[in-house]
């Protein structure tokens, strides 16, 4: 899919990024040592420390999002990663077009945990990720979590999604 867009996909060769106009570094499921090895400021978990525009506090041309970014008020989740990625893409395009970019803002909706196909827990949360009143458990929560996962895949494939603003 990406090769049809003139994108070179390079695996395991970080030095290739030194010679590109734009590098997208994607890591899933764990934080890589690349950020620490690059000398960027990282938190105790090795995530890149970013400002309110999701830029490395050391290198303003480096955006960090998702599980590899230490975003204040955020946690590792697809609920946070998708908006961060969309924001960073919009910010890069906006800057290239000379537009002023607003700071990143995102509010949470729920915390979901799947405990297999038949068990789960879903807790509604306030935008600051603190627990709100409603929660589900058991099979109902597992079904809700499955729908969340399906909608996440659909949103990632279609780029059609929105998110609530962060806490005031």
Output the pLDDT for position 15.
52
Mean pLDDT of 107-115: 89
The Cα–Cα gap between 139 and 52 comes to 38
Q: Give strand pairing partners of 88.
A: none
For residue 129, the tally of other CB atoms under 10 A from its CB is 21
Reading the block at residue 129, the tokens are 């990720």
Does residue 20 carry a pLDDT above 80?
A: no
Does residue 30 carry a pLDDT above 80?
A: no
Reading the block at residue 96, the tokens are 């290239």
User: The tokens 């975003």 sit on which residue?
Assistant: 71
Output the pLDDT for position 65.
92
Mean pLDDT of 51-79: 90
Output the pLDDT for position 133.
85
């Amino acid at each position: 899919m990406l090769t049809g867009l003139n994108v070179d996909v390079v695996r395991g060769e970080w030095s290739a990024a030194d010679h590109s106009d734009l590098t997208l570094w994607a890591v899933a499921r764990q934080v890589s040592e690349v950020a620490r090895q690059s000398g960027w400021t990282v938190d105790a978990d090795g995530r890149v420390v970013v400002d309110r525009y999701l830029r490395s506090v050391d290198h303003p041309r480096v955006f960090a999002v998702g599980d590899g970014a230490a975003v204040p008020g955020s946690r590792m989740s697809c609920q946070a990663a998708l908006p961060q990625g969309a924001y960073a893409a919009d910010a890069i395009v906006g800057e290239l077009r000379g537009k002023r970019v607003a700071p990143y803002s995102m509010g949470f909706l729920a915390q979901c945990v799947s405990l297999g196909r038949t068990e789960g827990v879903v807790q509604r949360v306030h935008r600051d990720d603190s627990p709100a009143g409603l929660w589900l458990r058991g099979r109902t929560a597992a079904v809700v979590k499955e729908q969340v996962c399906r909608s996440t895949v659909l949103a990632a494939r279609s780029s059609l999604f929105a998110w609530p603003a962060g806490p005031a």
